[in-house]
Structure 1
Amino acid sequence: MFLFLLVQVTFGQTEAVKEIHGKISADSASVDRINIVNLTAEKTTISDANGFFKIPVKAGDILVFTAVNLESVRRKMSQQDLEQEVFTLQMVSKSIILKEVVINESAISAESLGIIPYGQKKYTAAERKLYTATSGGGIDGLLNTISGRKAMLKKEIIVEKKEQLLARIDVLFEDNYYTETLKIPADYIKGFQYFCIEDSDFANALRAKNKTLTMYLIVKLAENYNEIIVSENK
């Protein structure tokens, strides 16, 4: 009997996950394809043309609502929110419109192809050059240090890592996402990509392949970049 009661209490204390039905409203602004991110559970969805959405949530989860045309909203979900038949949220209008993002990323790697063992440290071409210059020893090592070759190779590594991030962005986002969703002019796309990878939080999310965080951060960066474009064209 005691064990049965203990099991009942344990289950009673477990936070239940519920798929909520939500409705976003915004005066004089589109509520189509707003990003809804459950930061706690790392789940994402988007609203439909009428602002309706569904997403799994439990009490205490943090939901973030973002769109280029709306002010972002961060909401800690309560049990009362979960008990509503339709959870409603009012957002404040801005001036530009966000549409859907499509993300595709290849999982092919040297490890998955069996070229190198899993877990083995992989060096880029620039890193291999630096290792050779550093470990040469003797006269060669001294000459490399004096000539500044190692400093140059270190810069090559930095450039190479940025090129890797740029290549990853190209895989994640198509040009029409920048122009139609983020409202970045076509001529500014490459500049915006450089702007993004210079942001440490975005670069770290990109390296970690954190799709949820990357989607969230790029919307905020686009807002900042569009403001820069406007100020430059005044």
Structure 2
Amino acid sequence: MTKNIVFFLVAVLSQNSWSQTQERSVINGKIISNTNDLEGVYVVNAKTEVMTTTDSSGAFSIMAKPDDILVFSSIQFKENRVLLTCEDFTNLNFTVRMSLVMHQLQEVVVRRYDNINAVALGIVPSGQKTYTEAERKLRTATALNPTANAGTMAGGSISADPLFNFFSGRTAMLKKEVEVEKKEFFMKLLEKMFSLEHFIDRLKIPAEYVKGFEYYAVENQQFTKILDSKNKTSTEFLLGELAVKYKEIIASEAK
């Protein structure tokens, strides 16, 4: 008797399980969002615990039936639960919209580490002179190399490159390049320290002559020395004196 009851229960449970499986069919869908990274989102049928994942386009396929709940979850998206209807199974464009998880920073702290530089890290020796690009070219072109050809002559010999550069005029050209570079540096420093309005309104330099006055000022070695010290008061005082002389030059040329 007991065996018959057990057999009956097993048969009933098997039939119910088979019938439930038969009721479910494959539903095809696609997730959409404000990102192109749609691959790897978990799609779980909450009723059967069957799971799948989306492909690179966000498409998925899973066994389900109406009234099943599909759970969509991923690290980059908020969890979304969708109750399936009969229409979803006949909808060829069944889509589920996913919302991105926004990670908001509470505070951003920018710290300056003035003591950390190439010298502090031991990359550049302390006290070593720094060179601009033009100065490096000139130094390379004029530096004597006493170790050149040291393998062929006792005590070595002097490289012929500096002599060649001197006679070919390359050294002179590089010196001019260094001077031009220095003037450009002082021009930028001057324009950074004083606005265009300062030259026009305060120094009374006509607008069309401001750039010419800047060139005139940086040609003065005394002025560039003070300008390089970044002492604005002294620079402004000497700049005023140069402005007076420059306006006299403009006036004399206008006659």
Q: What's the TM-score once normalised by structure 1's chain length? A: 0.48
- Bigger-Rg structure (1/2): 2
Q: TM-score by structure 2 length?
A: 0.45
As a proportion of its length, which structure holds more strand? 1
Which protein has greater RCO, CA pairs closer than 8 Å, 6+ apart? 1
